[in-house]
Structure 1
Amino acid sequence: MEVRLLLLAALAGEHLLLLGPPGTAKSELARRMARLTGGTYFERLLTRFSVPEELFGPLSMKGLENDEYVRQLDGYLPTSEVAFIDEIFKANSAILNALLTLLNERLFDNGNQRLRVPLLCLVGASNELPESEELDALYDRFLIRRHVAQVSSAQLGSLARLAAGQSINTSPGDGATSSGGGAEFNGAATSVADGTGRFGDLTLEEFRGTAKAAYNAVELPDAVIDILTSLRNYLQDKCEPPVYVSDRRFMKSVNLLQVAAHADGRDQVHEYDCLLLEHVFGQRPDDAHKVKQFVLDTIASDPGLQQTELVFLGLFGRACRVLEGRNQQELEETRREAAAVVELLDLRQGGLAQTLDGNFPDLRTSVWQSESTVQAAVQALTPQMTENKKRVEELLREALILQAALSNETEPGLLERLLPKRYKQYQKGISSRA
């Protein structure tokens, strides 16, 4: 998952924060990203005593002779394209101000000149979360955050073989190659690569151009917008303690989902892409679970189905009134509405059937979800979506009955016998209005 998130961050032009104990290959990920992009690489470990010269370059002696306070930037962070800063939260105030502007605006002040830096992605690493409030701004600069753990007990044998230079036998979907040389994804990057489906064929220019291409090519459906807005409201207004999500982070999360869809070869963001937000919206380690659970619950509850049920109930009431009044113009309009509802329900029923029968193909074919994430999501979604499918099938049956009644101009009493539950709801609505 760390490999996937780093690749996604680079494609989106964002930064990745890795939190976890030493010796978990955090720096190795950044080095491999530099090799993949072919970009200039910079790496540094910060301490409490680090000075700006370590990151931004020494002062130019020639410049000082000419009364100019400028740095020699070559080989330092302002000239790098991929960077790794270990113990990032040990940055002191002398480093912090320049680092904030460099990360967010990609600008660096060298003397009286403001220079644009070529930085594509910075990987920050730390053993712990920042405790000082003055580091909150730096923490917010990392759009994607991931807690890195040790290799699991089940994979220690593979780690031993890797250390001995032996090949590793891996199962599909675990994100590793047989040689241990990095990640290879199931051909999902053809829209941003050259058609071979291998991320290794991407150039630095293609990395830089992906975010803009995704912004222009990928749509954000209303269902995804609803998840985003309701998730932020939930985190800030209903969680205890509240989880703050800045407007900047909210907007960048939208662009990140567009990049994820574009690199997957899609022209729309899918609801399942919102599962990535567990690495974006959380402030503390346990926040990721809250985000993930909310997204799964929202997808499973299917708010669109609840809205469709309300639309059908309104249509049923109108059909009863039209069949009583026999106004031909209103009857034709109601028939068209019924046909539209039937078509909508038929599509929804087909989509749910395809998802359940195909074992969630849209989720499983996403390059950005690990096998363990997919399995957990499928297990959480299946019971409620199976129930939703039954509700849609029943609603479709009722809509077809209503459509036939309107076509045949039946008596309202027949509707009462055919759909007694809906007729009671209709009568109850009349009584409440009266």
Structure 2
Amino acid sequence: MSDNMKKLKQIKEALNNKYMERESQIEGILVALLSRQHLLLIGPPGTAKSALSMELSQMIDESKYFQWLLTKYTTPDEVFGGIMLKDMEHGIYKHNTENKMAEAHLVFLDEIFKGSSEILNSLLKAINERTFENGTEEVDMPLMTLVGASNEYPEEDAGLNALFDRFMLRFEVDTIKSRDNLIAMMKGTRHLQQMPKISLEELENLQFLCEMVDIPDEIYEKMADIWQELRDEGIVPSDRRLQRSYSILQAKALIEQRQIVEIKDILFLEHVLWEDVEQKVQVSDIIRRHAQDVVSRMLEAVNEEADDIMKGLNKSDSTSYVLEATQKIKSLSKELKETKTKYPVRSRDIEIVSERLKRDLGILTNSVLEPIEEPV
């Protein structure tokens, strides 16, 4: 493993340790950075969308970062720089781009869909072509990745489809769900950790290495199968989205410390291949059917059912619910044992889920045990 690859792994692990329950979003922003694609984060305020982006920028030595909150009153000058008065005297409207988006490698724009049509039109070309018209010159931007954030998806009739389509990767972000993680977050001890660093040159070397990741023919065949089934269901990702999805697969493989794309990497495209939010579940199901084996799909279904059962405990801790939930968990455990017998080669994966079910049973048991009071 090269030093750069080690640093990539260290950055991912450090971010996961510091930002709890953000594993998929962290992987998403790293994939976006390696593949030089753009990423959208959808979720309520206070869910570390901007903090994660800023943290990553600080881990990249010599990089430039730009962050801005868009409103309907935001002008292009605020994002790209004010007009230089000296040039304006000669009829040239040139922006002072210092410390603005035009010079940034990583950009975070909050409330990305709240901007005026003027600023959004300016962003479209910058995001897609990574160029900026500054006076009479068209300037190349060093932009690697733009992270857009919003509290909600854009409305269908808001005229934002073109901007929405520019974000190859789309992730939802929610508040912390685990009680233990919530306590750890409130204590704030994880924020004291020393974060690893990578230089801008080393990151660019990783981006080059990403382009060299091999894509076997079976990946193209599998992608064609997915494309066909999506079309059969009336879901038609643009040719541009399909073509750029291969760079996403290469980045996903590189993050996994591989130089070849594997079938399982295609699962990551559930964050890529849908055009409308209502298509998300259907697209995910189609991708999983093609990119997951029988055991993996079964284990995921068991985990999802167990999640639903345990969520119900938060709403009702009555004895009757606990007894019913216990029986359901035991039934899932029995199903896992049968699967383990049938697919012994997957014993390790099955054991991981089995241990999770054992922990769930312990939680259910403890929820109905009455504390024994010491005699006075």
TM-score by length of 2: 0.68
Equivalent position amino acid for 2:172 in 1: H
**Aligned with 2:45 (options 22, 32, 38):** 22
Q: Secondary structure at the match of 1:24?
A: coil
Equivalent position amino acid for 2:205 in 1: G
**Aligned with 1:78 (options 88, 95, 102):** 102
2:228 counterpart residue number: 233
CA distance, structure 1, for counterparts of residue 187 and residue 254 of structure 2: 38
Q: 1:134 to 1:206 in 2, by over 3 A?
A: farther
Gaps of 5+ in 1: 167-178, 185-199, 303-351, 365-370, 376-434
2:238 counterpart residue number: 246
Structure 1 segment 266-345 matched on structure 2, within 5 A: 266-299=258-291
Structure 1 segment 68-147 matched on structure 2, within 5 A: 68-131=92-155, 132=157, 134-147=159-172
CA distance, structure 2, for counterparts of residue 221 and residue 133 of structure 1: 40
The answer to whether the aligner puts 1:210 opposite 2:219 as a matched pair is: no
Q: CA deviation at 1:275?
A: 0.8
Q: CA deviation at 1:104?
A: 1.6
| 2:65/2:106 contact within 8 Å kept | yes
1:232-278 deviation digits (Å, cap 9, x = unpaired): 2222x232xx3331111111110110122123222221111011001
Q: CA deviation at 1:123?
A: 0.9
1:272-296 deviation digits (Å, cap 9, x = unpaired): 1011001111233443332332222
| 1:12/1:256 contact within 8 Å kept | yes
| 1:231/1:291 contact within 8 Å kept | no
Equivalent position amino acid for 2:266 in 1: C
Q: CA deviation at 1:181?
A: 6.1
Equivalent position amino acid for 2:209 in 1: A
| 2:39/2:168 contact within 8 Å kept | yes
Moved more, 64-73 or 88-97: 88-97
| 2:84/2:96 contact within 8 Å kept | yes
| 1:13/1:208 contact within 8 Å kept | no
Gaps of 5+ in 2: 1-23, 295-341, 357-376
Q: Secondary structure at the match of 2:34?
A: helix
Moved more, 64-73 or 286-295: 286-295
**Aligned with 2:58 (options 21, 35, 42):** 35
Equivalent position amino acid for 2:95 in 1: R
Q: CA deviation at 1:97?
A: 2.5
CA distance, structure 2, for counterparts of residue 180 and residue 281 of structure 1: 35
CA distance, structure 1, for counterparts of residue 345 and residue 245 of structure 2: 26
Equivalent position amino acid for 1:53 in 2: D
CA distance, structure 2, for counterparts of residue 70 and residue 260 of structure 1: 40
CA distance, structure 2, for counterparts of residue 207 and residue 121 of structure 1: 12
Q: Secondary structure at the match of 2:161?
A: helix
Q: CA deviation at 1:18?
A: 0.3
Identity %: 32
1:158 counterpart residue number: 181
Q: CA deviation at 1:127?
A: 1.5
Equivalent position amino acid for 1:15 in 2: H
CA distance, structure 2, for counterparts of residue 360 and residue 93 of structure 1: 52
Q: CA deviation at 1:214?
A: 2.2
Q: CA deviation at 1:133?
A: 5.8
1:347 counterpart residue number: none
Q: 1:212 to 1:161 in 2, by over 3 A?
A: closer
Q: Secondary structure at the match of 1:206?
A: helix
Larger Cα Rg: Structure 1 or Structure 2?
1
Q: Secondary structure at the match of 1:359?
A: helix
| 1:13/1:120 contact within 8 Å kept | yes
| 1:147/1:285 contact within 8 Å kept | no
1:222 counterpart residue number: 217
Equivalent position amino acid for 2:159 in 1: E
| 1:17/1:123 contact within 8 Å kept | yes
| 2:267/2:291 contact within 8 Å kept | no
1:371-416 deviation digits (Å, cap 9, x = unpaired): 9xxx9xxxxxxxxxxxxxxxxxxxxxxxxxxxxxxxxxxxxxxxxx
**Aligned with 1:51 (options 70, 75, 85):** 75
Equivalent position amino acid for 1:106 in 2: R
Q: CA deviation at 1:300?
A: 5.0
1:359 counterpart residue number: 349
Q: CA deviation at 1:357?
A: 4.4
| 1:19/1:128 contact within 8 Å kept | yes
CA distance, structure 2, for counterparts of residue 85 and residue 36 of structure 1: 19
Q: CA deviation at 1:15?
A: 1.2
Q: 1:209 to 1:133 in 2, by over 3 A?
A: farther
1:197-240 deviation digits (Å, cap 9, x = unpaired): xxx34322232333332222x222233222212222222x232x
CA distance, structure 2, for counterparts of residue 69 and residue 18 of structure 1: 34
CA distance, structure 1, for counterparts of residue 285 and residue 270 of structure 2: 9
CA distance, structure 2, for counterparts of residue 248 and residue 85 of structure 1: 23
2:334 counterpart residue number: none
| 1:15/1:122 contact within 8 Å kept | yes
Q: CA deviation at 1:22?
A: 1.3
1:258 counterpart residue number: 250
Q: Secondary structure at the match of 2:208?
A: helix
Q: Secondary structure at the match of 1:251?
A: helix
